[in-house]
Amino acid sequence: MRLSLQKSENECKTRDNQIHTLQDEIAHKDETIAKLTRERKRLEEQNSKTTEQLQGEEDENAKKKARADLDKSKRKLETDLKALQSNLEEVEKSKGELEENIKRKDQEIQQMGGRLEDEQGQVTKLEEEIENERQQRADLAREIDEINDYLEEADGATSSQFEMNKKRESELQKLRRDLEEANL
């Protein structure tokens, strides 16, 4: 029995040693876990800071790109504005020339009207002359037809110029609206 008791005591000691060894191992593992947990938290914080820095840099790069795009758009709009202003000046110049042509044509029409009245007066005088009457009437009739043709052409030209002026005026209005929209 003694032997059995001693054997049991030895087993107890051996088990106590094993328990102490296992407890030491558990304590060592707990310390390792604590160290790893602290290291994980430190890495997470460092990762968070790095992510924030990267996000800040990305935001800054996005702002720079947006500013560059904005500057590019501004330069393009300024170029377009200059082109539109140049076109507007050309249109206004053409409009002035067309108005000048209309005034000249109106004066010519008035002169033709005066001539026509003079020639009609001559026709009544020439009716008294028998021999030249038919020849002069034919000549005057031809002249009157030519003048009427000329007046019709001038009237047609004036109408087409008026229509062109209307189109140009509407184009000018559109350009002004586009210019105002571009300025906004």
CA separation for the pair 112, 120 (Å, rounded): 12
What CA–CA distance (Å, rounded) separates 34 from 32?
Answer: 5
**Whether the model pTM is above 0.75:** no
- Phi and psi at residue 129, to the nearest 5°: -85, 120
Find, among 37, 172, 180, 6, the residue nearest to 92 by Cα. 172
Domain residue ranges in the chain: 2-183
Q: Name which residue leads in pLDDT, 116 or 69.
A: 69
pLDDT at 10: 80
**pLDDT over 70 percentage in the chain:** 91
Average pLDDT, whole number, for the chain? 81
Amino acid at 26: I
d(CA 136, CA 158): 31
Residues in the chain, overall count: 184
Q: What is the mean pLDDT of residues 4-22?
A: 80
